[in-house]
Amino acid sequence: MSEFNDALIVSALPEIDIDGLAAADDPRHPPRILLLYGSLRDVSYSRRAAEEAARVLRHLGCETRMFDPAGLPLVDDMSEEHPKVVELRELAVWAEGMVWSSPERHGAMTGLMKTQIDWLPLSMKGGIRPTQGKTLAVMQVSGGSQSFNAVNQMRILGRWMRMVTIPNQSSIPKAWLEFQDGRLPEGPFYRRIVDVMEELVKFTWLVRGRADYLVDRYSERVESVEAVHQRVSEK
């Protein structure tokens, strides 16, 4: 079944119109996508959904990395110098787009998913903004009937992190019945993941190279001018 899925991707996906989407000065390297998932279970369906997404993204010419949240401390329980926090932040800086895949637990995204996002600051030393202007796709898996609570919450988070969250999303109900031998077989839920990843790649090509312009903020420009004036006055 997994081989059929992969063959289907190769045969059915259109060519991404890079020339039509990319900015004139785009570096043209493969889009860099970071995938986060929200469960530490040995059999984690949010991780398996993210793995399916990563396979599709690679077929679409992307470079993918997946963060393993095992060992990530609670926010403020450890220093930001903790190795897992450093790893997560470095991956966020590296990425040009992200995929967040969470289970729905008690009607919400998991605490582990929220913890990963909470460790990402809006601004880092050197004026680095690890999430601002980057693209985002959200997905969820459920143990019961289909729901959209987790993806809706992650959309709010994406907006708060100043990300460009794409319109499409994936929600897989009764995920424990849908995955077979670790893979999601061909069908409507698999096709939706392909749809979402194709849209993410298109938006990433469209936004990359233009993010500085699209998210240029008056308030931040004022803060920059004030900071320069402050440094000058201190000399």
Hey, what domains does the chain have and what are their CATH numbers?
2-234 (3.40.50.360)
What is the predicted pLDDT for the residue at 65? 98
Residue 2 to residue 232: CA distance in whole angstroms = 62
Left, alpha or beta for 142 (phi > 0: left; psi -120 to 50: alpha)?
Answer: beta
Please give the chain's pLDDT, 235 residues, in tens.
455 566 666 666 667 888 888 888 888 999 999 999 999 999 999 999 999 999 999 999 999 999 999 999 999 888 899 999 999 999 999 999 999 999 999 999 999 999 999 999 988 887 789 899 999 999 999 988 888 999 999 999 999 999 999 999 999 999 999 998 889 998 999 999 999 999 999 999 999 988 878 877 788 788 777 777 777 677 6
Contact partners, residue 180, CB within 8 Å, separation at least 6: 1
Contact partners, residue 205, CB within 8 Å, separation at least 6: 16, 18, 21, 22, 26, 31
What is the predicted pLDDT for the residue at 4? 53
